[in-house]
Amino acid sequence: MHLTAKLTALHTAAGQGLIRLVNLQLFFCLLLSLCACNGSSSGNRQKFDEDMNYYLALKAVDTDRAQEAMQLFKKAQKNGSTFISRRSAEALTKLGNIQERTDSALELYNTYQDDDSLIRAVSELVHAEEYSQVISLTQGINIAESSNKLIRLRLTALQKKGDPRLADTVYQWYTKRAISQEHFKYYLASVISTTQNICDMNQQIIITFRIETYRKSYINAYKQLSSVITIIDSDDRLSLTPQIISDMGKVSLYGSSLWQKNAAFFDTLAKNAEVMGDTVNTYFALFYAARLYEKGGNYYTAANTRYKKSMEQAPSDFDFDNSLWYLINMDMGISPEKAMATIKQYCTQWHNPLYFTDLFDTLSVLLLSSRSWNDFYKVYNIIEGCADESTCSKYAYLSGRLIELGLAETRADPADEARTAYTQALNSGTNTYYKMLAAHQLGLTGTALEKVMKSTKINPSFTKNDDMEKLLDGYAVFGFPQYIYSEWQTFTSNGQPLSLECAERLSQFMQDCTDAAKSHFAQSIRIISRTIDNCDTEVTVNALKLMYPQDYSELVQQACKTYNLSEYLLYALIRSESLFDPEIQSSAGAVGLTQLMEGTAKDVAAKLHKDTYDLNDPATNIEFGSYYLSNLISRLNNSPIMAVFAYNSGITRVRTWLRDSHLEIGSRKLPMDIFLETIPYAETREYGRKIISAAAMYGWLYYNKPLGEIITEILS
């Protein structure tokens, strides 16, 4: 008799009551052993003690044994470790009848008293139609900051009870925070049914104005602007909020061409707010006045003055950086030199360097495309220690190259300056591309190179959370890969990082569980990659191999042999395109491991004489992608990097770039690493960097290839 049948017979023989705990644990441990992805040995499970009840309960849920699951969850809730206890309490809110679920949800909230537990409790109370209790529990929530889902539940209860506070709560929800999909859904439902019974006409007009702005119906919203202004001026109950001012600014920018007139209105708005001592509204009014003067053209001084004044009034660090971003961007539209002057003035004052990364990427393209080599080097010296690590590394590496090529002038010895710049580029945190290229230029090998390849940004404030890691480890030990990724996302979004040691265990387990779900492999790479980006210790080679795995190795080897490709290049392409998920499909319609578009696949199929094919089949997808990449290389003068660009953006665009770009410096060709930085599409530039760095990592990890050899091969 099959083991499952024997266990079922055993259970039936035990009667209809609950099996004693010892037999129940035996039952589930045996059942778990049947799984292909069942985690570690039963010996390792013993260290979980009372926490084991939680995992056994999950298996009971999976096998429709709800009552047994409830008993086990209750034991785990009472005796389990911190996160096990909470997850068990949360699980109980989904089991049993309505009264049992409601009681469990209220117990959860009474224990933890946070937004998540409140949402669970209120959701069950709404389901049980206990609306008065919902209103009581949500009485003190902050409409401007609480979860939209929680507010929606309160609105449902207020409406069901005919509570007179409904109208004001709805209006506050629509005017004190950014409009979301939750707002839009509620609006559609209300318009169809009862909006006239919820809010008065003045409130309806303002809410509709905000919804139209959210939908980007700027012309329609602009037509309502004068009515909104009149209503707020005349109705003492209603007032301007930063969100309403922002919407006014958006519709004035995109729903009208009267930019100077609209800018003057925001100037008046700013003066009135300043008189009232309202710095928040003053900021937003000045900011949109600046945007409108800028868009109107020929009003540079007016826009410049208001951007700077808004920075003085900024209610938060984010708002300061936002105004400064627009100021620099405006100056960049006039000239790179003007932007450089503003960056030099303010780079020590911004709060989040990452906010300006895209501006430095754009500035880089402008300077290198116009061959302003010395200006590029000047920017490097200005932003050192001020911009984010990746940007500093990029400007350092490229400055080193420009100095080495004799294109940028230095006062000191050029060789020394180039080495200094390359050494600085090694300190790039998590950006491997410029680190690798700098290591190549410095000629690093052996242990010196290994140190660079394994280097990352160490989190000095890392504190290991043992209970969190025990919960995640338990999913692996007891064979539940489907829970790991979502749990990990929850913890990391709450600022609780994972130790590298734990991340390696989880990533390895999930890669071993690919047969259970193809997405597990991609998830495992994301977990280990994110952990390496915010690490508690030096990266191990094993961690790097988990981050750069060799899945589908036999198919890759065969395809590379057939189409004369380097395996490390094909692995880099598959990893960059799909993270080895054969079932993934992009929003543009690209399918499978090598992310082929249907049109491209049809062309390849015709050339390979295949009448039918399935792009979700790994063998087919790898063969088609390999053929396509090999074909691009041959059509682009045997240049792997040009083929990579074409794979991302199309061969026609690449040929246009080659035709329009000045690829020579005197009698020399422009090096490909610098040419890459002049490509007009940010996506393609970053794609090229990803492929090069991934191929170099694969070559170093698995093929004992010198770093320089791989970089030189691909950049040829």
Residue by residue, DSSP assigns 341-388 as: HHHHHHTTT-S-GGGGHHHHHHHHHHHHHTT-HHHHHHHHHHHTTTS-
User: 154, 134 in Cβ contact below 8 A?
Assistant: yes
Residue type, 187: Y
Residue 383, pLDDT score: 96
C-alpha distances out from residue 69 to 37, 257, 280, 487, Å: 21, 64, 52, 20
Q: Which residues pair with 664 in a beta bridge?
A: 669
Distance CA 214, CA 629 (A): 42
Q: Per-residue pLDDT tens for 89-99?
A: 999 999 999 99
Residue 662, pLDDT score: 64
Residue 132, pLDDT score: 96
Helix (H, G, I), strand (E, B) or coil at 535: strand
Residue listed under structure tokens 């951007």? 307
Question: What is the distance of C-alpha 208 from the center of its chain?
Answer: 31
pLDDT confidence band for 679 (50 / 70 / 90):
very high
Q: Per-residue pLDDT tens for 417-436?
A: 999 999 999 987 677 899 99
- Dig out the tokens for 590 from the structure: 């690209």
pLDDT confidence band for 44 (50 / 70 / 90):
low
**Span 569-576, average pLDDT:** 98
- Dig out the tokens for 631 from the structure: 């074909």
Q: Is the pLDDT of residue 11 over 50?
A: no
User: 519, 484 in Cβ contact below 8 A?
Assistant: no
Name the nearest CA neighbour of 422 among 405, 452, 397: 397
Q: Supply angle C-alpha 626, 627, 632, rounded to 5.
A: 100
Name the CA dihedral angle for 624, 629, 631, 632, rounded to a multiple of 10 degrees: 140
**Span 472-496, average pLDDT:** 94
Residue type, 147: S
Residue 510, pLDDT score: 94
Higher pLDDT, residue 193 or 716: 716
Q: Per-residue pLDDT tens for 142-174?
A: 999 999 999 999 999 999 999 999 999 999 999
Query: Has this prediction a pTM greater than 0.75?
Result: yes
User: 249, 291 in Cβ contact below 8 A?
Assistant: yes
Q: Is the pLDDT of residue 36 over 80?
A: no
Across 213-226, b (16+ Cβ under 10 Å) vs e yields bbeeebeebbebbe
Percent of the chain scored above 70 by pLDDT?
92
Residue 177, pLDDT score: 94
Residue 14, pLDDT score: 36
Residue 458, pLDDT score: 85
Higher pLDDT, residue 23 or 535: 535
**Span 662-678, average pLDDT:** 80
Tell me how far apart the terminal alpha carbons of the chain are, to the nearest angstrom. 64
Distance CA 572, CA 668 (A): 30
Q: Helices 373-383 and 389-404 meet at what angle, rounded to 10?
A: 140
Residue 19, pLDDT score: 36
Residue 40, pLDDT score: 55
Residue 329, pLDDT score: 98
Across 573-606, b (16+ Cβ under 10 Å) vs e yields bbbbbbbbbbebeeeeebbbbbbbeeebbebbbe
Neighbours of 425 (CB within 10 A): 28
pLDDT confidence band for 616 (50 / 70 / 90):
very high
User: 152, 122 in Cβ contact below 8 A?
Assistant: no
Helix (H, G, I), strand (E, B) or coil at 128: coil
**Span 678-698, average pLDDT:** 95
Residue 716, pLDDT score: 86
pLDDT confidence band for 354 (50 / 70 / 90):
very high
pLDDT confidence band for 535 (50 / 70 / 90):
confident
Across 119-157, b (16+ Cβ under 10 Å) vs e yields bbbbbbbbebebbebbbebbeebebeebebebbbbbbbb
User: 550, 697 in Cβ contact below 8 A?
Assistant: no
**Span 384-401, average pLDDT:** 95
Residue 676, pLDDT score: 95
Q: Is the pLDDT of residue 32 over 70?
A: no
Residue 17, pLDDT score: 40
What does pLDDT average to over the chain? 90
Share in percent of the chain as helix, strand, coil (round to 5): 70, 0, 30
Residue 660, pLDDT score: 76
- Dig out the tokens for 596 from the structure: 């082929």
Q: Per-residue pLDDT tens for 547-559?
A: 999 999 999 999 9
Residue 431, pLDDT score: 78
Name the nearest CA neighbour of 84 among 471, 464, 466: 471
Distance CA 188, CA 289 (A): 32
Residue 665, pLDDT score: 65
Cβ neighbors of 281 (< 8 A, separation 6 or more) are: 240, 241, 242, 245, 269, 273
Name the nearest CA neighbour of 202 among 230, 169, 244: 230
**Span 328-350, average pLDDT:** 97
Percent of the chain scored above 90 by pLDDT?
84
Q: Per-residue pLDDT tens for 59-91?
A: 999 999 999 999 999 999 999 999 999 999 999
Distance CA 344, CA 382 (A): 6
Distance CA 101, CA 124 (A): 7
Distance CA 453, CA 710 (A): 14
Q: Is the pLDDT of residue 6 over 50?
A: no
Q: Is the pLDDT of residue 667 over 70?
A: no
**Span 17-39, average pLDDT:** 44
Cβ neighbors of 549 (< 8 A, separation 6 or more) are: 511, 521, 525, 575, 580
How many secondary structure helices (H) and strands (E) does the chain include?
Answer: 41, 2
